[in-house]
Chain A
Amino acid sequence: MTEKIPANSRLGSLEYDPAPESASIARLKSSYGLFIDGSFSDPSQHEQFVTLNPANEEVLATVAQASNADVDHAVQAARRAYETVWSKTTGAERSKYLFRIARLIQERARELAVVETLDNGKPIRESRDIDIPLAAAHFFYYAGWADKLGHAGFGANPRPIGVAGQIIPWNFPLLMAAWKLAPALAAGNTCVLKPAETTPLSALLLAEILQQAELPPGVVNIVTGDGSTGAALVEHAGVDKIAFTGSTAVGRLIQQRVASSQKRLTLELGGKGANIVFEDAPIDEMIEGVIDGIFFNQGHVCCAGSRLLVQESVADEVLRRLVRRVEQLRVGDPMDKNTDVGAINSAAQLARIQELTAFGEGEGATRYTSSCELPDKGYWFAPTVFADVSQSHRIAREEIFGPVLSVLTFRTPEEAVAKANNSSYGLACGVWSEKGSRTLWVAQRLRAGVIWANTYNRFDPTSPFGGVRESGFGREGGRHGLEAYLDV
């Protein structure tokens, strides 16, 4: 059943004037080649595909589809660079390259933020304040490790692995590139990076930055394309390590594909994060945190707090306040600085969200959807909350990867833990309570790689990130993130 939210709960008197960021800051080219061995190939050499602005379906640029032969060239370039240059470059020199890259990202931060928002559909406020600064911070953090690897706890002289093949998703395009490249380069590996099909542009801008940093040719190669490009990279015999961030289904396939090789593997996969709210939670902070936990980046977040577990005694009030807050979210033009929720990244993702939410209604959950107006063009999904969800519902089990929250209830801390852990995933969880001892008791029992207490969706280059169980293995960030790129 669907319940309408009363119109008078909208903050009608608090409309904002448009505050658009300028798209011209992006300075995009009409077409891009592949970045191999330090230079861009001629786009006309390749089959090409377009990348769209998901907010209006306009073409942003055409991008090269890397073939198996292109991937082979990139891997060979990475191998040459590893053997002739990078493995002979001291840690101190590698460190300074990474510091340079961090600084260049900061210098071009506004341009990168605009490109990210145009290509991805995420609000400019998020790409400006989160994606791009964090990407720079990751390079800055790992820069400092490059000449201190012997102090990282993996022996006195840990060796790099070799050539790393890195496949990243579309939800945080530049940030995921930074998460992959920075530790790999600090540890002394060379890289072939495959950006997501729908969001290749910021990685190509990063390639320009690598040129400006005078990173030796071949140390980082960037091959754009669809899943077949990623598959070619996974299967290439010259790759020593695969690092993948994406869905559990594809991660499983990759683990199978590399099973008979000696390739090292780390996987950062899906999640169905439980956000646990106890009756003594600080309610204002909690409501904001729960909203941020699921609607940040349109819910296109592997660690999103997509399952809200509320203690029964406060469930009615929490739901009422959540629904009111959802109604206040500003949904629309991602380039507007006041936008809270932007566009869904692609038509395919929108279809997936629509399919799963239809199941939610069909299985008997109560649906609350924001009455916000959605633009005519582009891919949009109004923020949605499902109440009366039970553990067996698909919307409580499957990753929706969209702005959709499922609300369940519990009575005791034991029940909260049991429900939170009742998932094949184990990426992230939230705990909201003013009682520190209970928070730590719960945190100890949650099977998850990241636990946020009285906050949610916080990221930092010093803080290890990654999952347990079917959310993958290996960590990104912190000292732990080096292990994925060292032969230890």
Chain B
Amino acid sequence: MSDSRLDVRKTYKLLINGAFPRSESGRSYEVASAGGEFVANMAQGSRKDLRDAVAAARVAQVKWWGSSAYNRGQVIYRLAEMAEARRAELAEHVALAEGLSIKKAERSVARAIDRVVWYAGWTDKIAQVYGGANPVAGPFFNFSLPIPSGVVGIIASQESSLEGFVDAALAPIAAGNAVIVVASERRPIPGVLLGEMSATSDFPAGVLNVVTGITSELAPTLASHEDVDGIDLSGVTGDAANDLNAAAASSIKRVFRPRDGDGADSTRRLRAFIETSTVWHTIGQ
């Protein structure tokens, strides 16, 4: 192969219902590296793309939650396997997007993959840690089980292109939800790559949907969508976050907002999109 060979570049696309469409709008926007150099034309997702993703997620969530916790753990672990094999590519793009040295980017990728593994291990622990039997005063067997909220919209971190994406997306998925992630507007590629890897990890189509585009255009659609059960506002701050929070009230959505001191071992994201369902059953002969 001669040195003058022209590389084959990739067109980055959305991930909706297991397929990789360009935006139905046909629009795109330029993404540059932290240093300001052109990297790619990203698909500029539209409200319609989001609505399609929500519809896909609603169907996928039933299938995802219907599979065993053991199986969900293996699927998430498989995502870690896929990511591990493509560490170099992820690191290159984390470095480009966040302006990190390749060494620092590699460490970030390693932490992100380890986080995926952490969530893989959670799927069959959540019911035991957050559920339980309740000793009611009467002839009843009473137990509480955590169930997923359903469909969760995520405005991923604008800064942390991969680690932020992983934490926001995998916590609700591990708990049995299906998600629509709006990737970082200026740093979308690492999240898009993770989406590509998910497509070879045995996730049912629609469990993880990734939409790139202009956050201020996409976020209000997710926050006000009546068939979205919860929203993670990690990637928005200030008045924009407050407005989205208010829009979420229209259908009483669960809202996650990051707080100072959310450490690596925090289970707050895991708890954000689970509900407690309590069953009373009579005891008798």
Residues of A participating in the B interface, judged by any CB pair closer than 8 Å: 137, 153, 248, 251-253, 255-256, 259-260, 267, 269, 424, 436, 439-440, 443, 446-455, 458, 460, 462-466, 468-473, 475, 478-480, 483, 488
Contact = CB atoms under 8 A, between A and B. Distances in A.
Given A153-B130, A260-B246, A465 B282 contact: no
A463 B250 CA distance: 29
A39 to B, nearest CB: 36
Contacts of B6: none
Given A460-B134, A480-B144, A269 B278 contact: no
Given A137-B137, A256-B246, A464-B134, A453 B252 contact: no
B278 A255 contact: no
Contacts of B282: 453-455
Contact of B280 (A446, A451, A468, A479): A451
Given A439-B281, A458-B280, 20 more contacts: A252-B252, A255-B246, A259-B246, A260-B245, A436-B281, A443-B277, A447-B147, A449-B275, A450-B278, A451-B278, A452-B279, A453-B279, A454-B282, A463-B136, A463-B278, A464-B144, A468-B275, A469-B229, A470-B252, A480-B144
Contact of B249 (A256, A436, A446): A256
Given A256-B249, A470-B251, A472-B252, A458 B276 contact: no
Interface in B249-285: 249-252, 254, 268, 271, 275-282
14 contacts: A137-B137, A259-B246, A260-B245, A267-B252, A446-B277, A447-B147, A449-B277, A452-B279, A458-B138, A460-B138, A460-B142, A464-B276, A470-B251, A478-B134
A483 B274 CA distance: 13
A137 B144 CA distance: 20
Contacts of B243: 259
B140 interface: yes
Contacts of B275: 449, 468, 473
Given A269-B252, A449-B278, A472-B252, A259 B137 contact: no
Given A454-B281, A458-B136, A478-B144, A255 B249 contact: yes
B123 interface: no
Q: Give the secondary structure class of B's interface.
A: mixed
Contacts of A252: 249-250, 252
A153 B129 CA distance: 8
Q: Which of B229, B254, B268, B278 is the most central at the interface, judged by chain A CB atoms within 10 Å of its CB?
A: B278
A458 B249 contact: no
Given A255-B252, A424-B251, A451-B280, A468 B149 contact: yes
Contacts of B137: 137, 460
Given A449-B278, A460-B138, A473 B254 contact: yes
Interface residues of B, number: 36
Nearest to A425: B252
B223 to A, nearest CB: 10
Nearest to A488: B268
A259 B280 contact: no
B88 to A, nearest CB: 38
Interface of B: 129-130, 132, 134-138, 140, 142, 144, 147, 149-150, 229, 239, 242-243, 245-246, 248-252, 254, 268, 271, 275-282
Contacts of B134: 460, 462-464, 478
Contacts of B136: 458, 460, 462-463
Contact of B142 (A454, A463, A473, A475): A463
B278 to A, nearest CB: 5
Q: Give the secondary structure class of A's interface.
A: mixed
Nearest to A462: B134
Contacts of A256: 246, 249
Contacts of B251: 424, 469-470
Q: Which of A267, A463, A483 is the most central at the interface, judged by chain B CB atoms within 10 Å of its CB?
A: A463
A443 B132 CA distance: 16
Contacts of A443: 277, 279
A137 B149 CA distance: 30
Contacts of B252: 248, 251-252, 255, 267, 269, 469-473
A269 B279 CA distance: 19
A460 to B, nearest CB: 4
Q: Which of B135, B144, B147, B271 is the most central at the interface, judged by chain A CB atoms within 10 Å of its CB?
A: B144
A432 to B, nearest CB: 10
B219 to A, nearest CB: 14
B281 A453 contact: yes
The 3 closest A-B pairs by CB, nearest first: A255-B249, A260-B242, A259-B246
Q: Which of A255, A269, A451, A453 is the most central at the interface, judged by chain B CB atoms within 10 Å of its CB?
A: A255
Contacts of A153: 129-130
Contacts of B279: 440, 443, 451-453
Contacts of B149: 468
Contacts of A463: 134, 136, 142, 144, 278, 280
Contacts of A449: 275-278
Contacts of A479: 132
A156 to B, nearest CB: 12
Q: Which of B129, B138, B276 is the most central at the interface, judged by chain A CB atoms within 10 Å of its CB?
A: B276
B201 to A, nearest CB: 26
Contacts of B135: 462
B135 to A, nearest CB: 5
A63 B279 CA distance: 40
A475 B268 contact: no
A446 B282 CA distance: 18
Contacts of A466: 276
Contacts of A424: 251
A323 to B, nearest CB: 25
A309 B272 CA distance: 32
Given A458-B140, A462-B135, A470-B251, A480 B242 contact: no
A274 B61 CA distance: 23
A451 B134 CA distance: 14
Contacts of B144: 463-464, 478, 480
A473 B249 CA distance: 12
Contacts of B249: 252-253, 255-256, 259
A196 to B, nearest CB: 21
A157 to B, nearest CB: 13
A483 B270 CA distance: 14
B250 to A, nearest CB: 7
B196 to A, nearest CB: 32
B226 to A, nearest CB: 8
